[in-house]
Structure 1
Amino acid sequence: MAKYTSEEKLQAALRYLKGNESSVEIAESIGTDHTAILKWTKLYEHHGVEAFIKRYTNYTAQFKLDVLNYMIEHGTSSRETAAIFNIPTPSTLGSWKKQFETKGFDALQSKKKGRPSMKKETNKQIKQGPIEGSTEALQARIKQLEMENEYLKKLNALVQAKETSPKKIK
């Protein structure tokens, strides 16, 4: 399917609204599907000339939920709802609906795209020991002193064993 300028879309919608030609005739003359003519006409009816101005859109999760609620409450089709809210493609509403039904409201949140930035090492949290005077700190201190005591006992035993062993001189 070929891309059409906003002026071509506007002219096609106006030709259809005049009522002299059907959507099929207009579609054949410009080389598109008749559903595109109907979509462009709905967009023009709801938003006027501004409907054909291209813009980048990033919808909030609340907006997505409001659109889905509107579609359910008023019983509008996805094509008509997309025209009312000036959403470029009706299939977007289908994907929002599927995400919401399977994963809930959190699935409607916008996700960050692209590769994540590298984190600096200053962001890493330093493992903190227990607070001074707490029971965990006191237990850790007792454990440390017990290990020191065991070490000194073993060292003392080795020194005594060395002294009592017969000295070999050659």
Structure 2
Amino acid sequence: MSKRSTEEIIQAVKRYMRGESTQGTEGKLLGVSKATFQSWIRRYETFGLEGFQHTKNRQYSSELKYAAVRDYLNRVGSQADICKKYKISSRTQLQEWIKVYNGHKELRPSTGRGSAIYMTKGRTTTYEERIEIVSYCIAHGNDYTAAIKKYGISYQQIYSWVRKYQEKGAEGLLDKRGKRKPELEMTETEKLRAENRLLEARNRRLETENAVLKKLEELERRWR
């Protein structure tokens, strides 16, 4: 979107909001559909001039995502109303969260993947370290960014370890490359201890999620 076209859009939206024109007329002048012009009106109402500037991707917390989705499911307002209330960039974004929620998946906080944190180089780790790192990550709602900052590892490493644990349990965190026998020769007791540690982290995460849901329900009761 060029600077000139941005100015034209803003002026068109302002004319409509002052009652000097109609959506259809302004849409034709700009060569766009009525639906597109309506989306610009919503963007202006929600974000003002900032909504038409090229800024970094907006970031949303898990709490905000859950609150927005539950508002929609409880028919607190239309998708457009909810986007305006929570300053969500588009209805498409909200619809994606609803899809994730209905699929019984976790609504994770948004992170800017273009940030320097994702350029952190990996490092060599022991099995015990991987257990600790994955436990921390899971206990904090799969917060990869926090794990990267705390343990000085790469995004590729933590993402891979969490996925391996989800697929194979604690044994998936064993490094089976080359001849690293000490890790492969762990006793069953040691493996069970590692598995228990990861399960405890998962339970802490579930407790946190339940606490968040209770808080959201309390807020919803206050809003009604």
- Distance change (3 Å), C-alpha of 1:109 and 1:45: closer
Q: Cα gap change, 1:85/1:8 in structure 2, threshold over 3 Å: closer, same or farther?
A: farther
1:29 aligns with 2:26: no
The answer to whether the Cα contact below 8 Å between 1:23 and 1:34 also exists between their aligned partners in 2 is: yes
| Residues 99 and 108 in structure 1, CA contact (< 8 A), matched pair in contact too | no
Structure 2, unpaired ranges of 5+? 128-181, 188-224
Q: Residues 17, 112 of structure 1: CA spacing in aligned structure 2 closer, same or farther, 3 A cutoff?
A: closer
The structural deviation recorded for 1:58 is: 2.4
Amino acid at match of 2:26: I
2:218 aligned residue: none
**Structure-2 residue corresponding to 1:19:** 19
Q: Structure 1 101/70 Cα, relative in aligned 2: closer, same or farther at 3 Å?
A: same
Tell me what 2:103 maps to: 102
The 8 Å contact of residues 82 and 89 in structure 1, kept in 2 or not, is answered as yes
1:50 Cα deviation (Å)?
A: 3.2
* 1: CA distance, partners of 2:54 / 2:29: 24
Q: CA deviation at 1:67?
A: 1.6
> Is the CA contact 1:78–1:91 (under 8 Å) kept in the aligned structure 2?
no
Mapped partners of 1:96, 1:111: distance in 2: 15
- 1:103: how far off? 2.4
The 1:111–1:100 alpha-carbon spacing in structure 2 relative to 1, beyond 3 Å, is: farther
Deviation at 1:18? Answer: 2.1
Contact 1:82–1:90 (Cα < 8 Å) also in 2:
yes
Aligned to 1:124: 126
Q: Which has the larger radius of gyration?
A: 1
Instruction: After TM superposition, give the deviation of residue 74 of structure 1 in Å.
Output: 5.2
Deviations 1:51-74 (A, max 9, x none): 333322122222211221233445
CA distance in 2, matches of 1:109, 1:51: 21
How many Å separate the matches in 1 of 2:12 and 2:22? 10
Q: CA deviation at 1:113?
A: 5.7
Q: Which is richer in helix?
A: 2
For structure 1, the residue ranges without an aligned partner over 5 or more in a row are: 131-170
- Structure 1 window deviating more from structure 2 (66-75 vs 9-18): it is 66-75
CA contact (8 A) 1:61 1:108 kept: yes
Residues in 2 aligned to 1:116 and 1:48: alpha-carbon distance in whole angstroms: 33
> Once the two structures are aligned, what percentage of the paired residues are identical?
18
Shift of 1:110: 4.5
Aligned pair in 2 of structure 1 residues 47, 111: CA closer, same or farther (>3 Å)? Answer: closer
Deviations 1:94-130 (A, max 9, x none): 11101011123x2435589699976433x02354878
Retained in 2: the 8 A contact 1:67–1:85?
yes
User: Residues 151-166 of structure 1 correspond to what in structure 2 (within 5 A)?
Assistant: none
Higher mean alpha-carbon deviation, 76-85 vs 61-70, is at 76-85
